[in-house]
Amino acid sequence: MFSVNNAHWNKDNYITQIALYKEFESDEAFIELQREVQLIKDNNDFILFLPSAREFADIDLQLEDLVEMADTILEDGK
């Protein structure tokens, strides 16, 4: 969804995407996403997601972008 609605990897776009996610899915679904992201962060597994993200969305996602996105999710889009 992000790659369709936003052209740039930055915190403002992550915040926008979080609001859309909550609207389309639910606050409860977002809380579950936060739990999953926290596990990924705790296990330092971000690098494992890069190949799939790059292939799925045909984007040049960098590790730093993914970490910033995760941190924004964990901050509840603030």
pLDDT tens string 52-64: 877 876 677 889 9
- What pLDDT is recorded for position 62? 87
**Reported pTM:** 0.82
pLDDT tens string 3-61: 555 567 789 989 999 999 999 999 999 999 999 999 999 999 999 988 887 787 667 78
User: Which residue from 60, 58, 51 is spatially nearest to 9, judged by alpha carbons?
Assistant: 60
Domain residue limits, the chain: 2-74
Residue 1 has pLDDT above 90, yes or no: no
